[in-house]
Structure 1
């Protein structure tokens, strides 16, 4: 039996009919008449030498051969569509699709986007703020900004500045709680989005890093880092702020980090794209802009006494 593939149009007709389980709906999707679609499927069955559908009175049903063929044709056309879109995107030097977590988008990207838009008016930026790991081909993503440990096999991965955490608050609250010891009586808040870090970068760990044995148990918890930072900006309490989420507010004086001690984690933000795509004009411009923006707040990093969290004495 020959392995020669049948015509692509016949396979396309079968895939649509198998997905809809309706010749009429498949014909409508492919913009052909039901008779033309039926002819394509009939020719495919003749090529195979056995039926793919059971034709019932008002419905169709896959035969055993049809059930064997359907998954592969569906996956094949999805792959072809993704490959075609990827090839077409190579011709587009103006559109840039970026995905990042909601907190990073709100606290790092959004407040700075005006500067990029002003410097690169030719680039049409499109953002998807989600924690879902998106596929570069299927989801038509050009750049992903992700936080964690990696690795990122098969991708161009550029680490951004190392990530640290330190207590941050408004200047007014800093005046009320001038020392780490005074935090025993302060309104502490919890950013639960960093609970996955190992070793932990939480309040008990930070207190041990400054020589205190204290485990706070009361205070509001936030599942999103940007919500915790917004609460701190409103003066609701003191939170362990992550560098990327608070550095601009510290740099511009809306928040302060009065105790200097910060904990550095090996988890970090990475700039990700397909290998080879990092040189595309809009991606290279966006990467260079991010690095330049990070350097604008580098002075904050220099004011802190940063300790790798692995060096904090255990509980």
Structure 2
């Protein structure tokens, strides 16, 4: 029998009736009437073309076919229960799965998740590095994703922005506007004739600038902590960025209290002018 044609509800009724050897006790367990149990059993017997119970005067007795099949059916239901448990564990309020660019994780997200974790002890985070645009939620079991760019356009995906972003040029204290240029993927239009250095992400570019290798233009949010610590300084007032940071998730995830709470925490933690 094809999986799509399996009479799962009738099999559940049969398993309860076989375990109790009583339609009445099975009905009590399933919160239905004994007549409803009897109807389900008769329908199942007709579907399978097999007699499952011998109706005796005072009780029921399994036929050899039913007795042989019952252990496998019970193992199947146990497997269903374990599957449901695993799915619920993956969406547990104690676990948050996020995807975000490496630079954002290192420069902004990780410290805030640490603060959030201190507010909610026992909370666990699963972080996936994702640097290439929007996340394909159909291929990933994620609660939330963060990307830099435009508002998500995929059907069923909704987002909340962290606010308008600026691009600023930063370098080590004492460096000038003539310092070598450090390029990275988030700033493909770096205003340099030729880049002296190219790094894989904006976070590494900021670290390189702090080390004295030159200057780099980055989203202000990524540089905020290094600016506050004095590791780098701003060489210009910046300019509006064409993109911004988006917290995104499919509609069902937005219904989860844990997602809404984390989004509110992260959005409220953005300092004015940092993004």
**1:281–1:90 CA distance, 2 compared to 1 (3 A):** farther
Check conservation: 1:156, 1:276, Cα contact below 8 A.
no
TM-score (norm 1): 0.55
Q: Do 1:193 and 1:225's aligned partners in 2 also have CA atoms closer than 8 Å? A: yes
The answer to whether the aligner puts 1:144 opposite 2:120 as a matched pair is no
1:309 corresponds to: none
Unaligned stretches of 5+ residues in structure 1: 10-82, 178-182, 204-214, 302-315
For residue 7 of structure 1, report the CA deviation from its aligned partner. 4.3
Quick one: distance in 2 between partners of 1:271 and 1:113? 14
Provide the C-alpha distance between the structure 2 equivalents of 1:120 and 1:105, rounded to a whole number of angstroms: 20
Coordinate RMSD, CA, aligned? 3.2
Contact 1:193–1:223 (CA<8 Å) still a contact in 2?
no
Equivalent residue for 1:124?
A: 124
| 1:268 and 2:270 aligned | no
Assess, with a 3 A threshold, how the Cα gap between structure 1 residues 194 and 218 changes in structure 2: closer, same or farther: closer
Counterparts of 1:1-315 in structure 2, within 5 Å, are: 5-7=4-6, 88=88, 92-131=92-131, 134-136=135-137, 138-152=139-153, 153-173=155-175, 177=176, 183=177, 185-195=178-188, 200=189, 202-203=190-191, 215-260=192-237, 262-295=238-271, 298=272
CA-to-aligned-CA distance 1:263-300 (integer Å, 9 cap, x gap): 212311110112142242221221122112213xx255
User: Quick one: distance in 2 between partners of 1:273 and 1:219?
Assistant: 38
Higher alpha-carbon Rg: 2
CA distance in structure 1 between the aligned counterparts of 2:140 and 2:150, rounded to whole angstroms: 23
Residue 100 of structure 1: CA displacement? 0.6
The Cα shift of 1:6 comes to: 4.9
Contact preservation (8 Å) 2:100, 2:128: yes
In structure 1, the residue matched to 2:30 is none
Task: Indicate how the Cα distance of structure 1 residues 252 and 6 shifts in structure 2: closer, same or farther if over 3 A, else same.
Answer: same
